[in-house]
Amino acid sequence: MGRVRALAGIAALTAMTLLAGCGPGPSGASAGPATWRGPSATGSATDPAARASALVAGFSDEDLVGQVLMPFAYGEDATKASSQAATANRGYAGVDTAAQMVEKYRLGGLILMNRAAGDPTASTNKTSNITSPAQVRTLTDGLQRVAATLPSRAPLLVATDQEYGVVNRLRDGVTQLPSAMAFGAAGDPALTRAAWAAAGSDLRAVGINVDFAPIADVVEQGGGVIGSRSYGSDPAAVSGQVRAAVQGLRDAGLAATLKHFPGHGHTNGDSHTQLPVLGQSRDQLAAGDLPPFSAGIGAGVDLVMSGHLDVRAIDPGVPASFSSKVLIDLLRGQLGFRGVVVSDALNMAPAQKYPPGEAAVRALVAGNDLLLMPPDLTAAQRGLLDGLRSGQLPKQRLVEAATRVLTLRLRLAGYRQPDLASVAGAPRQAAAAKVTAAAVTLLRGGCQGPLVPRGPVRVTASSGRDQQTRWLSEALRAQGYAVGQSGPEVRLVGYGDEKTDLSSGAAVTVAMDEPLILAGSKSPVLLATYSSSQAAMTSLAAVIAGAAPAPGRSPLDVPGLPRSGCVR
Protein backbone atom coordinates (compact mmCIF):
# COMPACT_ATOMS: atom_id res chain seq x y z
CA MET A 1 0.00 0.00 0.00
CA GLY A 2 3.02 2.32 -0.14
CA ARG A 3 2.61 3.06 3.56
CA VAL A 4 6.26 3.74 4.26
CA ARG A 5 6.49 6.14 1.32
CA ALA A 6 3.24 7.79 2.29
CA LEU A 7 4.38 8.35 5.89
CA ALA A 8 7.66 9.80 4.69
CA GLY A 9 5.78 12.22 2.48
CA ILE A 10 3.44 13.16 5.29
CA ALA A 11 6.28 13.90 7.67
CA ALA A 12 7.97 16.13 5.09
CA LEU A 13 4.88 18.05 4.08
CA THR A 14 2.58 18.23 7.12
CA ALA A 15 3.77 21.51 8.62
CA MET A 16 3.85 23.32 5.29
CA THR A 17 0.51 21.96 4.12
CA LEU A 18 -1.59 22.51 7.22
CA LEU A 19 -0.50 26.10 7.68
CA ALA A 20 -0.58 27.04 4.02
CA GLY A 21 -4.30 26.57 3.45
CA CYS A 22 -5.69 25.59 0.07
CA GLY A 23 -3.70 27.82 -2.22
CA PRO A 24 -3.76 31.52 -3.04
CA GLY A 25 -6.89 33.47 -3.57
CA PRO A 26 -8.12 34.94 -6.85
CA SER A 27 -5.67 37.18 -8.61
CA GLY A 28 -5.78 39.45 -11.64
CA ALA A 29 -9.28 40.49 -12.68
CA SER A 30 -11.92 41.59 -10.23
CA ALA A 31 -13.39 38.88 -8.09
CA GLY A 32 -16.89 39.81 -9.24
CA PRO A 33 -19.91 39.40 -6.98
CA ALA A 34 -18.23 37.17 -4.39
CA THR A 35 -15.93 38.45 -1.67
CA TRP A 36 -12.87 36.38 -0.88
CA ARG A 37 -11.53 36.44 2.66
CA GLY A 38 -8.14 34.86 2.41
CA PRO A 39 -5.96 33.48 5.19
CA SER A 40 -4.64 36.23 7.45
CA ALA A 41 -0.94 36.92 7.61
CA THR A 42 -0.92 36.47 11.37
CA GLY A 43 -2.62 33.07 11.49
CA SER A 44 -5.38 34.50 13.68
CA ALA A 45 -8.79 32.97 14.35
CA THR A 46 -9.93 34.22 10.95
CA ASP A 47 -7.33 32.06 9.20
CA PRO A 48 -9.18 29.00 7.81
CA ALA A 49 -6.11 26.77 8.14
CA ALA A 50 -5.48 27.75 11.75
CA ARG A 51 -9.16 27.36 12.64
CA ALA A 52 -9.33 23.99 10.93
CA SER A 53 -6.25 22.74 12.75
CA ALA A 54 -7.68 23.80 16.11
CA LEU A 55 -11.06 22.21 15.41
CA VAL A 56 -9.63 18.94 14.15
CA ALA A 57 -7.55 18.58 17.31
CA GLY A 58 -10.79 18.10 19.24
CA PHE A 59 -12.55 15.77 16.79
CA SER A 60 -13.56 12.23 17.62
CA ASP A 61 -12.45 9.45 15.31
CA GLU A 62 -15.92 9.45 13.76
CA ASP A 63 -15.73 13.19 13.07
CA LEU A 64 -12.28 12.80 11.53
CA VAL A 65 -13.45 9.99 9.26
CA GLY A 66 -16.55 11.93 8.25
CA GLN A 67 -14.46 14.83 6.96
CA VAL A 68 -12.83 12.67 4.28
CA LEU A 69 -16.01 11.08 2.91
CA MET A 70 -18.00 12.50 -0.01
CA PRO A 71 -20.80 10.06 -0.87
CA PHE A 72 -23.92 10.50 -2.98
CA ALA A 73 -27.48 10.30 -1.66
CA TYR A 74 -30.83 9.34 -3.13
CA GLY A 75 -33.71 11.83 -3.16
CA GLU A 76 -34.28 15.38 -4.33
CA ASP A 77 -34.84 16.89 -0.87
CA ALA A 78 -32.61 16.89 2.20
CA THR A 79 -35.20 15.76 4.73
CA LYS A 80 -37.83 14.02 2.59
CA ALA A 81 -37.44 10.96 0.39
CA SER A 82 -39.77 8.80 -1.64
CA SER A 83 -40.12 5.23 -0.52
CA GLN A 84 -37.83 4.16 -3.35
CA ALA A 85 -35.17 6.73 -2.44
CA ALA A 86 -35.39 5.88 1.26
CA THR A 87 -34.93 2.19 0.51
CA ALA A 88 -31.88 2.97 -1.62
CA ASN A 89 -30.39 5.19 1.09
CA ARG A 90 -30.89 2.47 3.70
CA GLY A 91 -29.05 -0.01 1.51
CA TYR A 92 -26.20 2.42 0.91
CA ALA A 93 -25.85 4.12 4.27
CA GLY A 94 -28.43 2.81 6.74
CA VAL A 95 -30.47 6.05 6.70
CA ASP A 96 -33.61 7.32 4.98
CA THR A 97 -32.59 10.80 3.82
CA ALA A 98 -29.61 12.84 2.75
CA ALA A 99 -29.82 14.98 5.89
CA GLN A 100 -29.67 11.89 8.07
CA MET A 101 -26.62 10.74 6.11
CA VAL A 102 -24.79 14.01 6.75
CA GLU A 103 -25.61 13.85 10.45
CA LYS A 104 -24.87 10.17 11.03
CA TYR A 105 -21.55 10.11 9.19
CA ARG A 106 -20.44 13.68 10.13
CA LEU A 107 -19.78 14.24 6.46
CA GLY A 108 -17.36 16.74 5.00
CA GLY A 109 -19.11 16.72 1.66
CA LEU A 110 -21.80 15.30 -0.61
CA ILE A 111 -21.95 15.04 -4.40
CA LEU A 112 -25.07 15.80 -6.42
CA MET A 113 -25.60 14.01 -9.70
CA ASN A 114 -27.85 13.55 -12.67
CA ARG A 115 -27.97 10.71 -15.15
CA ALA A 116 -28.46 11.97 -18.69
CA ALA A 117 -28.54 10.31 -22.10
CA GLY A 118 -25.27 10.67 -23.95
CA ASP A 119 -23.24 11.25 -20.79
CA PRO A 120 -20.04 9.15 -20.92
CA THR A 121 -19.85 9.16 -17.12
CA ALA A 122 -23.41 7.96 -16.51
CA SER A 123 -22.50 4.37 -15.59
CA THR A 124 -21.38 5.34 -12.10
CA ASN A 125 -24.16 7.84 -11.41
CA LYS A 126 -26.48 5.78 -9.27
CA THR A 127 -29.17 8.40 -8.88
CA SER A 128 -30.48 11.75 -10.08
CA ASN A 129 -31.08 14.46 -7.52
CA ILE A 130 -30.72 17.55 -9.73
CA THR A 131 -33.81 18.81 -11.57
CA SER A 132 -33.99 22.62 -11.43
CA PRO A 133 -32.23 25.58 -9.81
CA ALA A 134 -34.98 26.02 -7.22
CA GLN A 135 -34.97 22.33 -6.31
CA VAL A 136 -31.18 22.26 -5.96
CA ARG A 137 -31.22 25.38 -3.78
CA THR A 138 -33.85 23.83 -1.50
CA LEU A 139 -31.84 20.62 -1.28
CA THR A 140 -28.54 22.36 -0.54
CA ASP A 141 -30.09 24.71 1.99
CA GLY A 142 -31.43 21.69 3.85
CA LEU A 143 -28.04 19.98 3.78
CA GLN A 144 -26.30 23.08 5.09
CA ARG A 145 -28.74 23.41 7.98
CA VAL A 146 -27.69 19.97 9.14
CA ALA A 147 -23.99 20.69 8.61
CA ALA A 148 -24.31 23.77 10.82
CA THR A 149 -25.24 21.55 13.77
CA LEU A 150 -22.09 19.41 13.54
CA PRO A 151 -18.93 20.14 15.55
CA SER A 152 -17.14 22.00 12.74
CA ARG A 153 -20.04 24.40 12.10
CA ALA A 154 -18.58 24.72 8.61
CA PRO A 155 -20.40 24.69 5.28
CA LEU A 156 -20.67 21.26 3.73
CA LEU A 157 -18.78 20.75 0.49
CA VAL A 158 -21.57 20.31 -2.07
CA ALA A 159 -20.06 19.16 -5.34
CA THR A 160 -21.10 18.19 -8.82
CA ASP A 161 -19.54 17.45 -12.21
CA GLN A 162 -20.58 20.58 -14.09
CA GLU A 163 -18.13 20.45 -17.00
CA TYR A 164 -20.75 21.54 -19.56
CA GLY A 165 -20.73 19.88 -22.96
CA VAL A 166 -21.47 16.15 -22.67
CA VAL A 167 -20.90 16.04 -18.89
CA ASN A 168 -23.43 18.51 -17.58
CA ARG A 169 -25.49 17.87 -14.47
CA LEU A 170 -27.69 20.97 -14.34
CA ARG A 171 -28.88 21.64 -17.88
CA ASP A 172 -31.98 23.79 -17.45
CA GLY A 173 -32.45 27.22 -15.92
CA VAL A 174 -28.77 28.12 -15.50
CA THR A 175 -26.12 29.70 -17.69
CA GLN A 176 -24.85 27.05 -20.09
CA LEU A 177 -21.26 27.07 -21.25
CA PRO A 178 -20.02 25.25 -24.34
CA SER A 179 -17.70 22.26 -24.03
CA ALA A 180 -14.06 22.64 -23.06
CA MET A 181 -13.03 22.03 -26.67
CA ALA A 182 -15.14 25.02 -27.73
CA PHE A 183 -13.12 27.19 -25.35
CA GLY A 184 -9.99 25.76 -26.94
CA ALA A 185 -11.33 26.67 -30.39
CA ALA A 186 -12.16 30.21 -29.27
CA GLY A 187 -8.63 30.49 -27.86
CA ASP A 188 -9.25 33.53 -25.65
CA PRO A 189 -8.44 33.00 -21.93
CA ALA A 190 -10.06 36.31 -20.99
CA LEU A 191 -13.38 35.12 -22.43
CA THR A 192 -12.84 31.78 -20.69
CA ARG A 193 -12.38 33.38 -17.29
CA ALA A 194 -15.42 35.62 -17.69
CA ALA A 195 -17.63 32.74 -18.85
CA TRP A 196 -16.62 30.41 -16.01
CA ALA A 197 -17.15 33.20 -13.49
CA ALA A 198 -20.64 33.77 -14.88
CA ALA A 199 -21.61 30.11 -14.86
CA GLY A 200 -19.95 29.62 -11.48
CA SER A 201 -22.08 32.37 -9.99
CA ASP A 202 -25.16 30.43 -11.04
CA LEU A 203 -23.83 27.28 -9.39
CA ARG A 204 -23.02 29.19 -6.22
CA ALA A 205 -26.53 30.63 -6.17
CA VAL A 206 -28.11 27.17 -6.16
CA GLY A 207 -25.83 26.05 -3.33
CA ILE A 208 -23.08 24.16 -5.15
CA ASN A 209 -19.66 25.26 -3.88
CA VAL A 210 -17.35 22.67 -5.49
CA ASP A 211 -17.20 22.03 -9.22
CA PHE A 212 -15.34 18.96 -10.43
CA ALA A 213 -14.00 20.98 -13.35
CA PRO A 214 -12.04 21.99 -15.34
CA ILE A 215 -10.62 19.03 -17.22
CA ALA A 216 -6.84 19.41 -17.41
CA ASP A 217 -6.30 16.42 -19.69
CA VAL A 218 -4.40 17.06 -22.92
CA VAL A 219 -5.81 14.86 -25.66
CA GLU A 220 -3.91 13.19 -28.46
CA GLN A 221 -4.65 14.22 -32.01
CA GLY A 222 -7.05 11.29 -32.17
CA GLY A 223 -9.18 12.68 -29.34
CA GLY A 224 -9.13 9.56 -27.18
CA VAL A 225 -11.80 8.75 -24.62
CA ILE A 226 -11.90 12.29 -23.20
CA GLY A 227 -12.82 13.92 -26.51
CA SER A 228 -14.47 17.34 -26.33
CA ARG A 229 -14.19 17.35 -22.54
CA SER A 230 -10.58 18.50 -23.15
CA TYR A 231 -9.48 21.95 -24.22
CA GLY A 232 -7.29 20.43 -26.93
CA SER A 233 -4.03 18.77 -27.90
CA ASP A 234 -1.50 21.54 -27.31
CA PRO A 235 -0.20 21.55 -23.69
CA ALA A 236 0.56 25.28 -23.69
CA ALA A 237 -2.85 26.28 -25.06
CA VAL A 238 -4.64 23.89 -22.70
CA SER A 239 -2.65 25.33 -19.79
CA GLY A 240 -3.87 28.83 -20.57
CA GLN A 241 -7.47 27.65 -20.73
CA VAL A 242 -7.23 25.66 -17.51
CA ARG A 243 -5.68 28.59 -15.68
CA ALA A 244 -8.46 30.91 -16.84
CA ALA A 245 -11.23 28.44 -15.93
CA VAL A 246 -9.82 28.01 -12.42
CA GLN A 247 -9.61 31.77 -11.97
CA GLY A 248 -13.17 32.21 -13.18
CA LEU A 249 -14.62 29.63 -10.84
CA ARG A 250 -12.72 31.09 -7.91
CA ASP A 251 -13.90 34.57 -8.88
CA ALA A 252 -17.43 33.21 -8.41
CA GLY A 253 -16.65 31.73 -4.98
CA LEU A 254 -16.42 28.11 -6.09
CA ALA A 255 -13.70 25.59 -5.46
CA ALA A 256 -12.37 24.34 -8.79
CA THR A 257 -10.97 20.86 -9.40
CA LEU A 258 -8.34 19.71 -11.88
CA LYS A 259 -8.85 16.25 -13.29
CA HIS A 260 -7.82 13.51 -14.00
CA PHE A 261 -4.32 13.57 -12.51
CA PRO A 262 -1.78 12.95 -13.96
CA GLY A 263 -3.68 13.06 -17.29
CA HIS A 264 -6.34 10.92 -18.98
CA GLY A 265 -5.93 12.36 -22.47
CA HIS A 266 -3.47 9.93 -24.01
CA THR A 267 -5.55 6.79 -23.73
CA ASN A 268 -8.58 5.23 -25.37
CA GLY A 269 -9.43 3.24 -22.25
CA ASP A 270 -12.35 4.40 -20.11
CA SER A 271 -11.50 4.37 -16.41
CA HIS A 272 -15.15 3.87 -15.52
CA THR A 273 -14.92 0.29 -16.78
CA GLN A 274 -11.19 -0.56 -16.92
CA LEU A 275 -7.75 0.56 -15.79
CA PRO A 276 -6.32 2.58 -18.69
CA VAL A 277 -2.59 2.30 -19.27
CA LEU A 278 -0.49 5.42 -19.74
CA GLY A 279 2.64 4.43 -21.60
CA GLN A 280 4.34 7.81 -21.74
CA SER A 281 7.85 8.22 -20.41
CA ARG A 282 8.48 10.58 -17.51
CA ASP A 283 9.77 13.18 -19.96
CA GLN A 284 6.65 12.81 -22.10
CA LEU A 285 4.41 13.20 -19.06
CA ALA A 286 6.32 16.29 -18.00
CA ALA A 287 6.09 17.86 -21.46
CA GLY A 288 2.64 16.75 -22.57
CA ASP A 289 0.41 15.98 -19.60
CA LEU A 290 1.53 17.87 -16.52
CA PRO A 291 1.72 21.51 -17.74
CA PRO A 292 -2.06 22.18 -17.39
CA PHE A 293 -2.00 20.77 -13.86
CA SER A 294 0.93 23.01 -12.99
CA ALA A 295 -0.91 25.97 -14.50
CA GLY A 296 -4.04 25.25 -12.48
CA ILE A 297 -2.04 24.84 -9.29
CA GLY A 298 -0.36 28.16 -9.98
CA ALA A 299 -3.81 29.74 -10.36
CA GLY A 300 -4.78 28.59 -6.86
CA VAL A 301 -6.92 25.56 -7.63
CA ASP A 302 -8.44 24.06 -4.49
CA LEU A 303 -8.72 20.40 -5.48
CA VAL A 304 -7.02 17.92 -7.77
CA MET A 305 -8.80 14.67 -8.66
CA SER A 306 -6.64 11.57 -8.84
CA GLY A 307 -7.34 9.39 -11.86
CA HIS A 308 -7.78 5.62 -11.98
CA LEU A 309 -4.85 5.38 -14.39
CA ASP A 310 -1.93 2.96 -14.66
CA VAL A 311 1.03 5.32 -15.06
CA ARG A 312 3.69 2.87 -16.16
CA ALA A 313 6.60 5.29 -15.95
CA ILE A 314 5.93 6.02 -12.26
CA ASP A 315 4.15 3.14 -10.52
CA PRO A 316 3.34 0.35 -13.00
CA GLY A 317 0.23 -1.70 -12.28
CA VAL A 318 -1.03 0.60 -9.52
CA PRO A 319 -3.85 3.07 -10.23
CA ALA A 320 -2.63 6.63 -9.74
CA SER A 321 -5.54 7.06 -7.33
CA PHE A 322 -3.91 4.46 -5.06
CA SER A 323 -0.27 5.43 -5.65
CA SER A 324 1.73 7.49 -3.18
CA LYS A 325 4.43 7.81 -5.85
CA VAL A 326 1.95 9.72 -7.99
CA LEU A 327 0.01 11.63 -5.33
CA ILE A 328 2.70 12.39 -2.75
CA ASP A 329 5.99 12.28 -4.62
CA LEU A 330 4.78 13.80 -7.91
CA LEU A 331 1.71 15.92 -7.15
CA ARG A 332 2.76 17.30 -3.79
CA GLY A 333 6.52 16.93 -3.89
CA GLN A 334 7.31 17.98 -7.46
CA LEU A 335 4.30 20.07 -8.47
CA GLY A 336 3.90 21.63 -5.02
CA PHE A 337 0.14 21.18 -4.67
CA ARG A 338 -1.09 22.14 -1.19
CA GLY A 339 -4.84 21.71 -1.46
CA VAL A 340 -7.27 18.79 -1.31
CA VAL A 341 -6.67 15.64 -3.33
CA VAL A 342 -9.99 13.98 -4.12
CA SER A 343 -10.16 10.48 -5.52
CA ASP A 344 -12.09 9.80 -8.67
CA ALA A 345 -15.26 7.88 -7.85
CA LEU A 346 -14.54 4.79 -5.79
CA ASN A 347 -17.45 2.97 -7.43
CA MET A 348 -15.53 2.87 -10.73
CA ALA A 349 -14.13 -0.46 -11.86
CA PRO A 350 -10.42 0.04 -11.03
CA ALA A 351 -11.25 1.01 -7.44
CA GLN A 352 -13.66 -1.88 -6.92
CA LYS A 353 -10.88 -4.45 -7.14
CA TYR A 354 -10.72 -3.87 -3.37
CA PRO A 355 -13.59 -4.22 -0.86
CA PRO A 356 -15.04 -0.77 0.01
CA GLY A 357 -13.41 -0.55 3.43
CA GLU A 358 -10.00 -1.59 2.16
CA ALA A 359 -10.27 0.73 -0.84
CA ALA A 360 -11.00 3.66 1.48
CA VAL A 361 -7.93 2.95 3.61
CA ARG A 362 -5.65 2.38 0.63
CA ALA A 363 -6.82 5.55 -1.12
CA LEU A 364 -6.31 7.68 1.99
CA VAL A 365 -2.87 6.28 2.79
CA ALA A 366 -1.80 6.83 -0.82
CA GLY A 367 -2.44 10.56 -0.48
CA ASN A 368 -6.10 11.26 -1.23
CA ASP A 369 -7.79 13.59 1.27
CA LEU A 370 -11.39 13.20 0.14
CA LEU A 371 -12.92 9.88 -0.90
CA LEU A 372 -15.52 10.33 -3.60
CA MET A 373 -18.56 8.08 -3.95
CA PRO A 374 -17.58 4.97 -2.01
CA PRO A 375 -19.81 2.14 -3.26
CA ASP A 376 -20.89 1.25 0.29
CA LEU A 377 -20.77 4.17 2.72
CA THR A 378 -21.23 2.06 5.83
CA ALA A 379 -18.39 -0.25 4.84
CA ALA A 380 -16.11 2.65 3.93
CA GLN A 381 -16.60 4.30 7.32
CA ARG A 382 -16.11 1.01 9.14
CA GLY A 383 -12.96 0.28 7.15
CA LEU A 384 -11.43 3.64 8.04
CA LEU A 385 -12.27 3.30 11.74
CA ASP A 386 -10.91 -0.24 11.84
CA GLY A 387 -7.80 0.94 10.00
CA LEU A 388 -7.22 3.58 12.66
CA ARG A 389 -7.49 1.03 15.45
CA SER A 390 -5.22 -1.48 13.73
CA GLY A 391 -2.62 1.08 12.69
CA GLN A 392 -3.13 0.35 9.01
CA LEU A 393 -4.37 3.93 8.67
CA PRO A 394 -1.97 6.21 10.59
CA LYS A 395 -3.91 8.81 12.53
CA GLN A 396 -1.47 11.49 11.40
CA ARG A 397 -2.52 10.84 7.79
CA LEU A 398 -6.22 11.07 8.66
CA VAL A 399 -5.69 14.27 10.65
CA GLU A 400 -3.78 15.81 7.75
CA ALA A 401 -6.55 14.94 5.28
CA ALA A 402 -9.35 16.10 7.56
CA THR A 403 -7.56 19.39 8.19
CA ARG A 404 -7.17 20.07 4.49
CA VAL A 405 -10.85 19.36 3.85
CA LEU A 406 -12.01 21.48 6.77
CA THR A 407 -9.70 24.32 5.73
CA LEU A 408 -11.42 24.39 2.36
CA ARG A 409 -14.86 24.29 3.96
CA LEU A 410 -14.01 27.24 6.19
CA ARG A 411 -12.46 29.20 3.33
CA LEU A 412 -15.60 28.79 1.24
CA ALA A 413 -17.62 30.23 4.12
CA GLY A 414 -15.98 33.55 3.26
CA TYR A 415 -18.04 33.94 0.08
CA ARG A 416 -21.56 35.27 0.10
CA GLN A 417 -24.13 33.25 -1.79
CA PRO A 418 -25.80 35.04 -4.73
CA ASP A 419 -29.56 35.29 -4.72
CA LEU A 420 -31.43 32.60 -6.64
CA ALA A 421 -33.16 35.29 -8.69
CA SER A 422 -29.78 36.14 -10.27
CA VAL A 423 -29.46 32.75 -11.96
CA ALA A 424 -29.19 32.84 -15.78
CA GLY A 425 -29.24 36.61 -15.83
CA ALA A 426 -28.55 38.40 -19.10
CA PRO A 427 -24.93 39.41 -18.31
CA ARG A 428 -24.01 35.85 -17.39
CA GLN A 429 -25.62 34.39 -20.48
CA ALA A 430 -23.91 37.03 -22.62
CA ALA A 431 -20.50 35.99 -21.27
CA ALA A 432 -21.19 32.39 -22.26
CA ALA A 433 -22.59 33.38 -25.66
CA LYS A 434 -19.40 35.29 -26.53
CA VAL A 435 -17.32 32.15 -26.15
CA THR A 436 -19.84 30.04 -28.03
CA ALA A 437 -19.82 32.42 -31.00
CA ALA A 438 -16.02 32.69 -30.95
CA ALA A 439 -15.68 28.90 -31.12
CA VAL A 440 -17.58 28.23 -34.37
CA THR A 441 -15.04 26.86 -36.85
CA LEU A 442 -15.27 26.47 -40.60
CA LEU A 443 -13.09 23.61 -41.80
CA ARG A 444 -14.33 23.58 -45.41
CA GLY A 445 -16.33 26.07 -47.44
CA GLY A 446 -16.41 29.77 -48.26
CA CYS A 447 -15.53 32.42 -45.74
CA GLN A 448 -17.68 35.22 -47.19
CA GLY A 449 -21.45 35.42 -47.47
CA PRO A 450 -24.07 32.74 -46.84
CA LEU A 451 -22.87 29.14 -46.77
CA VAL A 452 -26.33 28.05 -47.98
CA PRO A 453 -28.42 30.33 -50.24
CA ARG A 454 -31.40 31.81 -48.46
CA GLY A 455 -34.54 29.87 -49.26
CA PRO A 456 -35.77 26.39 -48.39
CA VAL A 457 -33.44 24.34 -46.19
CA ARG A 458 -33.89 21.19 -44.11
CA VAL A 459 -32.19 20.34 -40.82
CA THR A 460 -31.45 16.70 -39.97
CA ALA A 461 -29.79 14.87 -37.09
CA SER A 462 -29.60 11.41 -35.61
CA SER A 463 -32.32 10.30 -33.20
CA GLY A 464 -32.20 11.89 -29.80
CA ARG A 465 -31.27 15.32 -31.14
CA ASP A 466 -34.76 16.73 -31.63
CA GLN A 467 -34.03 19.66 -29.32
CA GLN A 468 -30.97 20.72 -31.32
CA THR A 469 -32.90 20.33 -34.57
CA ARG A 470 -35.63 22.64 -33.25
CA TRP A 471 -33.15 25.20 -31.94
CA LEU A 472 -31.25 25.38 -35.22
CA SER A 473 -34.46 25.50 -37.26
CA GLU A 474 -35.76 28.41 -35.19
CA ALA A 475 -32.43 30.24 -35.49
CA LEU A 476 -32.30 29.71 -39.27
CA ARG A 477 -35.84 31.01 -39.65
CA ALA A 478 -34.76 34.12 -37.73
CA GLN A 479 -31.99 34.49 -40.36
CA GLY A 480 -34.53 34.38 -43.20
CA TYR A 481 -34.54 30.68 -44.16
CA ALA A 482 -37.64 28.60 -44.84
CA VAL A 483 -36.96 25.43 -42.87
CA GLY A 484 -38.94 22.39 -43.92
CA GLN A 485 -38.61 19.09 -45.78
CA SER A 486 -36.93 20.37 -48.93
CA GLY A 487 -33.83 22.27 -49.95
CA PRO A 488 -30.15 21.82 -49.04
CA GLU A 489 -29.56 19.60 -46.02
CA VAL A 490 -27.82 20.86 -42.86
CA ARG A 491 -26.83 17.76 -40.90
CA LEU A 492 -25.97 17.82 -37.19
CA VAL A 493 -23.69 15.12 -35.82
CA GLY A 494 -22.16 14.69 -32.40
CA TYR A 495 -21.23 12.40 -29.56
CA GLY A 496 -22.28 8.83 -30.35
CA ASP A 497 -22.37 9.36 -34.12
CA GLU A 498 -18.79 8.22 -34.72
CA LYS A 499 -19.90 5.27 -36.87
CA THR A 500 -22.29 7.33 -38.99
CA ASP A 501 -21.55 7.26 -42.73
CA LEU A 502 -20.93 10.87 -43.75
CA SER A 503 -19.52 10.13 -47.19
CA SER A 504 -22.41 11.70 -49.10
CA GLY A 505 -25.54 13.79 -48.86
CA ALA A 506 -25.62 16.97 -46.82
CA ALA A 507 -24.71 20.40 -48.10
CA VAL A 508 -23.46 21.27 -44.63
CA THR A 509 -22.29 18.90 -41.91
CA VAL A 510 -21.81 20.26 -38.41
CA ALA A 511 -19.84 18.56 -35.61
CA MET A 512 -21.42 19.38 -32.24
CA ASP A 513 -18.79 17.41 -30.32
CA GLU A 514 -15.13 16.87 -31.23
CA PRO A 515 -14.53 17.60 -34.94
CA LEU A 516 -12.71 14.38 -35.84
CA ILE A 517 -15.97 12.95 -37.13
CA LEU A 518 -15.76 15.39 -40.05
CA ALA A 519 -12.69 13.68 -41.51
CA GLY A 520 -14.88 11.28 -43.50
CA SER A 521 -17.48 13.78 -44.68
CA LYS A 522 -17.83 14.76 -48.35
CA SER A 523 -20.04 17.78 -47.62
CA PRO A 524 -18.85 20.95 -49.40
CA VAL A 525 -19.26 22.86 -46.12
CA LEU A 526 -17.94 21.54 -42.79
CA LEU A 527 -18.44 23.37 -39.52
CA ALA A 528 -17.74 22.64 -35.87
CA THR A 529 -19.51 24.11 -32.86
CA TYR A 530 -18.11 21.57 -30.33
CA SER A 531 -21.36 21.93 -28.36
CA SER A 532 -25.07 21.38 -28.83
CA SER A 533 -26.47 24.15 -26.64
CA GLN A 534 -29.10 26.59 -27.82
CA ALA A 535 -26.48 29.33 -27.94
CA ALA A 536 -24.32 27.13 -30.17
CA MET A 537 -27.21 26.60 -32.58
CA THR A 538 -27.93 30.33 -32.65
CA SER A 539 -24.29 31.12 -33.43
CA LEU A 540 -24.21 28.38 -36.06
CA ALA A 541 -27.24 29.81 -37.86
CA ALA A 542 -25.60 33.24 -38.02
CA VAL A 543 -22.48 31.74 -39.62
CA ILE A 544 -24.52 29.71 -42.14
CA ALA A 545 -26.43 32.85 -43.10
CA GLY A 546 -23.23 34.86 -43.55
CA ALA A 547 -24.32 37.20 -40.76
CA ALA A 548 -21.32 36.33 -38.59
CA PRO A 549 -17.79 35.01 -39.20
CA ALA A 550 -16.49 31.61 -38.09
CA PRO A 551 -13.59 32.79 -35.91
CA GLY A 552 -12.66 29.49 -34.26
CA ARG A 553 -9.71 27.16 -34.91
CA SER A 554 -9.92 23.46 -34.16
CA PRO A 555 -7.80 22.74 -31.08
CA LEU A 556 -6.71 19.41 -32.55
CA ASP A 557 -5.88 18.17 -36.04
CA VAL A 558 -8.60 16.65 -38.19
CA PRO A 559 -7.06 14.40 -40.90
CA GLY A 560 -7.28 16.00 -44.32
CA LEU A 561 -8.66 19.30 -43.05
CA PRO A 562 -7.13 22.59 -41.86
CA ARG A 563 -7.55 23.82 -38.31
CA SER A 564 -9.63 26.56 -39.93
CA GLY A 565 -10.51 27.39 -43.50
CA CYS A 566 -10.81 31.06 -42.60
CA VAL A 567 -8.44 31.83 -39.72
CA ARG A 568 -4.70 31.30 -39.76
SS3 content of the chain, % helix, strand, coil (to 5): 40, 10, 45
CB 271 within 8 A of CB 308: yes
Q: Judge contact between 365 and 2, C-beta under 8 A.
A: yes
CB 532 within 8 A of CB 468: yes
Give the tens place of pLDDT for each residue, 184-242: 999 999 999 999 999 999 999 999 999 999 999 999 876 678 889 999 999 999 999 99
Residue 35 has pLDDT above 70, yes or no: no
Q: Which amino acid, 285?
A: L
The answer to whether 521 touches 560, Cβ cutoff 8 Å, is no
| Burial of residue 392 (number of CB atoms within 10 Å: 0-12, 13-18, 19+) | middle
% residues pLDDT > 70 (the chain): 89
Pairing of strands 482-483, 441-444: unpaired
Per the DSSP assignment, residues forming a β-bridge with 182 are none
In the predicted model, what is the mean pLDDT of residues 285-308? Answer: 97
Task: Check 96, 188, 344, 513 and give the catalytic one.
Answer: 344
Provide the pLDDT for residue 19: 31
Numbered ranges of CATH 3.20.20.300 in the chain: 3-417
Q: What is the rounded distance in angstroms from the CA atom of residue 127 to the CA atom of residue 106? A: 22
CATH class of 440-544: alpha beta
Q: What is the pLDDT of residue 442?
A: 98
| H or E element in which residue 137 lies | helix 133-147
In the chain, CATH 3.40.50 covers 440-544
What's the Cα-to-Cα distance from 238 to each of 158, 293, 426, rounded to whole Å?
Answer: 27, 10, 28
Q: What is the mean pLDDT of residues 34-63?
A: 71
456 sits in which H/E element: strand 456-461
Query: pLDDT at position 32, please?
Result: 34
Q: If residue 399 lies in a helix (H) or strand (E), which one and from where to where?
A: helix 395-412
- Looking at CATH, the fold of the domain delimited by 3-417 is given as TIM Barrel (3.20.20)
Closest Cα to residue 136, out of 158, 115, 155?
158
Q: What is the spatial distance between Cα 492 and Cα 194, in angstroms, rounded to a whole number? A: 28
Q: Where are the beta strands (DSSP E) in 129-231?
A: 157-160, 162-164, 167-168, 210-211
Calculate ∠ Cα 56-58-64, nearest 5°.
50
What tens digit of pLDDT does each residue of 254-277 get?
A: 999 999 999 988 776 666 667 888
Rounded CA separation 556/181 (Å): 9
pLDDT band per the 50, 70, 90 thresholds, residue 496: confident
Q: Does the structure show a pLDDT above 60 at 40?
A: no
Q: Quick one: pLDDT at residue 33?
A: 32
**Cα distance between residue 115 and residue 450, in whole Å:** 39
Measured CA to CA, the distance from residue 433 to residue 430 in angstroms comes to 5
- Which of 260, 264, 266, 272 does the annotation list as catalytic? 272
Q: Which of 39-53, 340-354, 394-408 has the lowest mean pLDDT?
A: 39-53
φ, ψ for residue 283, nearest 5 deg: -65, -40
Query: Is 329 assigned a catalytic role?
Result: no
- 308 as an active site residue: the answer is no
Q: Residue 477: what residue type? A: R
Backbone angles phi, psi at 454, to 5 degrees: -65, 140
The stretch 84-97 carries a mean pLDDT of: 97
317 exposure class (CB count in 10 Å sphere: 0-12, 13-18, 19+): exposed
